[in-house]
């Protein structure tokens, strides 16, 4: 700081000093405690920053060891409000700047937080804001569906847009290139060979060894942020449940939590316990799926069939007890829309015990599978340094020894009563990401047992009441992929003015570009599956 | 290895007989299906799945067709990696405008005769997303659709039933 201070106008540091003071107070009891709504966007403390100090604030935050957790813009009247969410030790700080009418540039925070690179490009494409000093001037979420000078999140842009009859394929994106007699360029996608989401990967390979990988995403952008505008809370929760279909509970919970914090609505106890039941059941189903799929990508068909069998049984229980295999639309504003039936109370503990026993049986089989181990151990190693630079989340971070878990670090009800300990490994390879999932499966089964023991009779859902104009809130939930951060702002009629859901994949996708380096192209599906980023949740 | 073999022995065969197939009407359809597949496709029907903008829930349920409970390959239905090998395109999602050209190119690459099946509420009618600046809505807005299997997402059983009714008509 001091070296820069000598070179820059002293006055500009007044703001940064205030920020630094606040950042230093991170971890103190009053921080994050919603004693005063002024200066807070529950549960984060709000820190206003002048536009010219935007990058300095990021620099100060980086120096304090903060993690850059999300960034989004919001067109309010003639002005643009830009937000950056920071986290340290489970406390959240929201940096906010307001651009005066007519100004459309802001210093980039990417030089201080590399994980901000794509989110800033997303804001640039959708809002038309220039981030000066950003290292990458290529468009990101914008392909060809709307014009270069059209910005869908501006108030004057109609939801219907002005699309051509047939949108041209994306051309002219400046992929990194390398030349030489040994270098091959391998384009993959957007239509992939399996039953998975679309996106494009561009490999540069020397022989079979990956020299560089560049992701080109945005293919499933379907206008979620714009579509949310004007929705009522119920219909926003439905949309949130489809941000990423495998995270129906996680995204709906984060959106409802944000709306409830904005409106001051407290879900009843039983509703909260049921949300945890749904979230843990979702985590279990997805981890079973991923472990099976990782086995499949190593041609270990036995593992794929066993884990897909366990997942299917689990989903059938979801359907039988809660009415939907993937638990969509079960988390609603104010609580939940499905109760715990008598049948589940009597049968779920047995199903949990059976799954635990099967997992205990399968683990030594994976451990002893020499061909399987040969593929997963040492493949796709992600250095811990990259996790910190990019702000990676969930099992991707935890497999590198960084125990980021909202349920442990910033526990919201009912996790605050459960004492969660994040599952970690340290090797950062495909095996570590697999075994973190394994550990989390067992931990989730314990959580489910506790939920069942502690859930009491009571109402499922609190009455909704419309919040005042511009009421805003943040939802922070540990989805099965990691922290989900969702921002909601209301208009004056109880409807949504701004919705921004940030899936953990936003920070895990760039990690894939790093962990694949030096691996062979045929190991890409395996490495990719071990990260399993959401395309839909990323593209919005 | 002993663990593995004993696990295989104890798990046994879980492949289920579909209830719809024990239904006399569907038994008849199933027999017709088999006849159609045997006659036109030499015993197998190749499917290429295309996610044209879905939230990924439909993919999860289509992928579940490969798990040991459904194991659709036993009906002569199999999923292929290229549209050039496919008889049927299973298309999910509202078609995002960014995927429109890729979907059309995939359709072009599929040899005649070919069928297009729209899978899920979004592919059927746009769902939560509808038509907007980024979404073309229903698959039918982009391609001629031969059959629709609704549901958000359709369950694997819905998918099997839908495929049977498409192929046997």
Which ipTM score applies to this complex? 0.92
The verdict on a CB contact (< 8 Å) between B61 and A325 is yes
Rounded to the nearest angstrom, the minimum Cα separation between B115 and chain A is: 18
Average pLDDT, chain A: 92
List all residues 6 or more positions away from A72 whose beta carbon is below 8 Å from its beta carbon: A82, A83, A119, A123, A487, A500, A502
What are the DSSP E strand ranges found in A27-182? 40-41, 44-48, 67-76, 79-88, 91-99, 105-107, 130-132
For A35-93, write each residue's pLDDT tens digit: 333 478 889 999 999 999 999 999 999 998 999 999 999 998 888 999 999 999 899 99
Q: Give the whole-angstrom CA distance, residue A500 versus residue A225.
A: 6
A302–B8 C-beta distance less than 8 A:
yes
Q: pLDDT at position A4, please? A: 37
Nearest chain B alpha carbon to A152:
B133
Interface contact flag, A239 B128, Cβ < 8 Å: yes
Give yes or no for a contact between B49 and B59, defined as CB atoms under 8 angstroms apart. yes
Non-local (6+) Cβ contacts of A387 within 8 A are: A396, A397, A400, A402, A428, A511
3-state SS, A87-115, equals EECCEEEEEEEEECCCCCEEECCCCCCHH
Q: How far is A464 from chain B (nearest CA, A)?
A: 22
Percent of chain B exceeding pLDDT 90 equals 57
Closest partner CB to B3 (pick from A159, A168, A365): A365
Instruction: Compute the count of residue pairs across chains A and B with CB atoms less than 8 Å apart.
Output: 172
Closest CA of chain B from A236, distance in Å? 10
CB contact under 8 A, A161 and B56: no
Q: Are B56 and A197 in contact (CB < 8 Å)? A: yes
Which pTM value belongs to this model? 0.92
DSSP class of residue B96 equals: B
pLDDT at residue B166 in the model? 81
Interval B65-121: pLDDT, tens: 999 888 888 778 889 999 999 999 999 999 999 999 999 999 999 999 899 999 999
Backbone angles phi and psi of A406, in degrees to 5: -55, -35
Contacts of A220 in chain B (CB under 8 A): 51, 53-54, 93, 96, 98-99
Q: Which residue has the higher pLDDT, A138 or B34?
A: A138
Sequential DSSP letters for B143-164: S--SEEE-SSSPPHHHHHHHHH
pLDDT above 50: residue B26: no
User: What pLDDT, on a 0 to 100 scale, did the predictor assign at position A11?
Assistant: 45
Alpha-carbon distance B99 to nearest alpha carbon in chain A (angstroms): 6
- Cross-chain residue pair A365–B4, CB shorter than 8 Å: yes
CA distances from A491 to A335, A464, A469, A474 (A): 22, 16, 5, 16
CB–CB of A248 and B129 under 8 A?
Answer: no
The predicted pLDDT at position A78 comes to 83
Cβ partners under 8 Å of residue B81, min gap 6: A193, A194, B48
Closest by Cα among A496, A465, A490, A504 to A41: A490
* Measured distance CA(A207)–CA(A123) in Å, rounded: 38
The rounded distance, in Å, linking the Cα atoms of A530 and A432 is: 9
Contact A92, A52 (CB under 8 A): no
Cα-flanking dihedrals φ and ψ of residue A8, to 5°? -120, 155
What span, in angstroms and rounded, lies between the C-alpha atoms of A287 and A480? 8
Chain B residue with minimum CA distance to A537: B55
Which chain B residue lies closest to A163 (C-alpha atoms)?
Answer: B133
CB-based contact A536 B54, cutoff 8 Å:
yes
In this complex, the residue of B56, B82, B133 whose CB is nearest that of residue A152 is B133
Per-residue confidence in pLDDT tens, chain A, 540 aa: 333 333 334 444 455 556 656 655 544 333 333 333 347 888 999 999 999 999 999 999 999 899 999 999 999 888 899 999 999 989 999 999 999 998 999 999 999 999 999 999 999 999 999 999 999 999 999 999 999 999 999 999 999 999 999 999 998 999 999 888 889 999 999 999 999 999 999 999 999 999 999 999 999 999 999 999 999 999 999 999 999 999 999 999 999 999 999 999 999 999 999 999 999 999 999 999 999 999 999 999 999 999 999 999 999 999 999 999 999 999 999 999 999 999 999 999 999 999 999 999 999 999 999 999 999 999 999 999 999 999 999 999 999 999 999 999 999 999 999 989 999 999 999 999 999 999 999 999 999 999 999 999 999 999 999 999 999 999 999 999 999 999 999 999 999 999 999 999 999 999 999 999 999 999 999 999 999 999 999 999
Cα four-point dihedral sign A426, A431, A437, A442 = negative
Q: Which residues of B touch A158 (CB under 8 A)?
A: 133
Closest residue in A to B101 (Cα–Cα): A169
Chain B residues in contact with A319 (beta carbon < 8 A): 155
Chain A CB contacts of B79 under 8 Å are: 195
- A195 near B59, Cβ under 8 Å? yes
Contact A325 B53 (CB under 8 A): no
């Amino acid at each position: 700081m001091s070296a820069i201070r000598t070179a820059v106008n002293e006055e500009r540091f007044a703001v940064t000093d205030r920020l630094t003071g606040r950042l230093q107070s991170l971890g103190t009891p009053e921080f994050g405690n919603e004693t005063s709504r002024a200066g807070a966007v529950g549960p984060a403390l709000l820190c206003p920053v002048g536009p010219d100090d935007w990058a300095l604030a990021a620099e100060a935050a980086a120096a304090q060891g903060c993690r850059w957790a999300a960034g989004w813009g919001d067109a309010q009247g003639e002005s643009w409000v830009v937000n950056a969410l920071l986290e340290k030790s489970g406390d959240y700080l929201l940096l906010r700047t307001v651009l005066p009418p007519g100004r459309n540039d802001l210093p980039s925070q990417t030089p201080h937080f590399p994980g901000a690179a794509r989110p800033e490009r997303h804001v640039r494409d959708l809002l038309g804001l220039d981030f000066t000093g950003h290292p990458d001037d290529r468009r990101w979420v914008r392909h060809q569906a709307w014009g270069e000078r059209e910005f869908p999140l501006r108030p004057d842009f109609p939801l219907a847009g002005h699309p051509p009859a047939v949108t041209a394929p994306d051309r002219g994106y400046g992929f990194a290139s390398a030349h030489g007699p040994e270098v091959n360029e391998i384009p993959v996608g957007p239509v992939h060979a399996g039953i998975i989401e679309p996106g494009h990967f561009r490999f540069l390979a020397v022989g079979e060894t990956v020299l560089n990988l560049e992701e080109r995403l945005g293919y499933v952008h379907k206008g979620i942020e714009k579509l949310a505008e004007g929705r009522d809370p119920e219909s926003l929760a439905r949309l949130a449940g489809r941000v990423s279909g495998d995270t129906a509970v996680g995204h709906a919970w984060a959106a409802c939590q944000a709306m409830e914090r904005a409106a001051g609505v407290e879900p009843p106890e039983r509703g909260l316990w049921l949300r945890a039941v749904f979230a843990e059941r979702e985590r279990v189903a997805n981890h079973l799926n991923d472990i099976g799929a990782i086995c499949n990508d190593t041609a270990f068909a036995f593992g794929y069939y066993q884990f897909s069998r366990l997942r299917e049984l689990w989903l059938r229980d979801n359907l039988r007890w809660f009415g939907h295999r993937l638990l969509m639309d079960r988390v609603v504003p104010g609580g939940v829309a499905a109760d715990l039936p008598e049948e589940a109370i009597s049968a779920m503990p047995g199903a949990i015990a059976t799954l635990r026993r099967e997992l205990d049986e399968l683990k030594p089989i994976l451990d002893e599978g020499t061909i399987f181990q040969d593929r997963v151990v040492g493949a796709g190693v992600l250095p811990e340094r990259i996790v910190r630079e990019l702000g990676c989340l969930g099992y991707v971070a935890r497999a590198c020894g960084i125990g980021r878990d909202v349920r442990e670090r910033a526990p919201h009800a009912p996790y605050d009563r459960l004492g969660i300990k994040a599952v970690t490994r340290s090797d950062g390879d495909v095996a570590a990401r697999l075994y973190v999932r394994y550990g989390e499966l067992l931990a989730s089964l314990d959580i489910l047992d506790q939920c069942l023991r502690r859930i009491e009779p009571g109402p499922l859902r609190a009455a909704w009441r419309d919040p005042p104009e511009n009421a805003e809130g943040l939802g922070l939930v540990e989805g099965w992929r990691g922290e989900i951060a969702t921002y909601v702002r209301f208009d004056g009629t109880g409807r949504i003015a701004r919705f921004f859901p940030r899936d953990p994949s936003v920070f895990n996708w760039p990690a894939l570009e790093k962990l694949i380096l030096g691996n062979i192209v045929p190991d890409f599906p395996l490495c990719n599956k071990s990260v399993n980023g959401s395309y839909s949740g990323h593209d919005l | 290895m002993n663990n593995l073999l004993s696990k295989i022995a104890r798990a046994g065969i879980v492949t289920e007989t579909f209830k719809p197939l024990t239904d006399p009407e569907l038994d008849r359809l199933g027999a017709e299906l088999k006849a159609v597949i045997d006659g036109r496709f030499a015993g197998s029907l190749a499917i290429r799945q295309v996610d044209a903008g879905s939230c990924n829930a439909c993919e999860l349920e289509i992928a579940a067709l490969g798990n040991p409970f459904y194991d659709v390959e036993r009906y002569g239905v199999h999923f292929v990696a290229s549209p050039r090998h496919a008889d049927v395109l299973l298309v999910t999602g509202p078609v995002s405008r960014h995927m429109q050209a890729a979907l059309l190119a995939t359709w072009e690459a599929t040899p005649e005769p070919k069928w297009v099946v729209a899978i899920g509420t979004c592919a059927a009618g746009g769902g939560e997303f509808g038509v907007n600046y980024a979404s073309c809505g229903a698959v039918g807005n982009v391609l001629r659709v031969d059959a629709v299997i609704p549901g958000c997402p359709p369950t694997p059983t819905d998918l099997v039933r839908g495929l049977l009714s498409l192929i046997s008509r």
